[in-house]
A and B are shown apart, each in its own frame.
Chain A
Amino acid sequence: MSKSYALLPCNGLDKCAGCISREVAIKVCENSDSEIICPVLYRVADARYNKIAQEKPLIVIDGCNTRCASRLASEKSLKIAQKINISDEAKANNIELHNSLKLNDEDFKLVNIIADNLLKEEEKVISSLDTDFPEKFEYEIYKKDKFIFRVPKEGFYFNENDCYVYVVGNRARIGVTDYVQQSLSDIMFFTPPAVGSEIEQFGEAGTIESGKAVFEVVSPVSGTVVAVNEKLLNSPELINENPYEKGWIEEIELSDFESDKELLYDFNKYFEIMKRKVDEFHV
């Protein structure tokens, strides 16, 4: 499969992390059919990159939490397929970032880890496996003012973080409930977990972001991520339309659902909890 990303690194010049973002983008480009968007030229003359940014999955690479590249993507209303933060990646890989702008072996090790993951990921991103998941469900509805909160009546389990799981055989789809999507309002970005990664119950399973907040998807189950809903990369608003149907987030091969289930709510329990939350907190 020919890899083809649009890469938007922050290219920061005053910090090591910014220089690493640039090196990651160059390495991915050298090993794939991807293209780099120069953040400065993009601001000065956006016609140069608009087409690339719209046609290819956009990977945004921020050096630090100032998130200049993400801010630029947001200002240009670009849809982001994946966000990478070099400082976070360094922590996750036990690599300490230093103050020098000259990159050392450890920095290039981090460059290789991130770039290799990106190059592998595209091969792994698949829309869904062969398992049959229903396309429609029946819902119980709770209304509050103009807001409608749906909860599917059968087959779903929920955690206290308003994430659901729907199990078929040894596979499951997970996602967020209506309570989350209504609270976030218009969802603009979806950052999936890496396909192939192991997730613990209550571990992070990607993030979704609106103009209001970033929401960490908390996995209701443990297992291995086997697919992500790639439609969300370009159309995260599907979560707003229906988070249980076209807005599902990812598929997981379950490792111990019987144990995980003990800490989950069924429909009756979650519906009561959700109603209470809506009455008490939802604005």
Chain B
Amino acid sequence: MSLVEIHGINKSYGSVQVLKDVSLDIAKGEVVAVIGRSGSGKSTMLRCINGLEPVQAGVIRVDGTQVNDPATNLRKLRQEVGIVFQSFNLFPHLSVCDNITLAPRVVKKQAPQAAREVAREVLARVGLEDKLDAYPSQLSGGQQQRVAIARSLAMRPKLMLFDEVTSALDPELTGEVLKVLESVAKEGMTMILVTHEMGFARRFGSRVVFMHEGRIHEQGPAAAVLAEPKTPELQTFLSAVLH
């Protein structure tokens, strides 16, 4: 069974339709890179999957639970779906440890000591175990994004969404974040990444999905799609980003 099922979703902002009849199935353990021009609807689709954006038509299911059903407990769903944002969105008033343990303590009712142990463990996974008691403002952009990934991991999600997580970083800092993404992918996490990192998509993506004007225009195995794009739109897009 697919972990994520998207069937015929439509979404408009006023008169602008940003998602047009989008359908996508993602199996457990897949690493899906969603690429496309800005404004093609890729970030919007990602945000629909954890219910941050409502859809006007269609069905989204995560692990069998329908996301766009008013009766669905989004609070429960979101414990299983982590999301990492372009702008990190760490809580600036909280230490790294509190950023990571807030949701486990408040939502999952973990004891503070146990939550701190989890924080230590996930920080080790992103290579920042020495920053447990630092504040976000004391960290570089790359480190902040790694903490944001750790914060998501601490909830033990089944699925992780990444919304252009390297786009706000200086080029020399993207490497350390991509390394973390790589290790998360290798651990078997199901991941959907909206990204401009074609190299990452090629090496670690099990599938590439190209979005164009609100539709899924082309998709397939990462290496094949990137090496031999079939549609002229994807060819144009790839030649623009690769050169």
Same complex: no
Residues of A within 8 A of B (CB): none
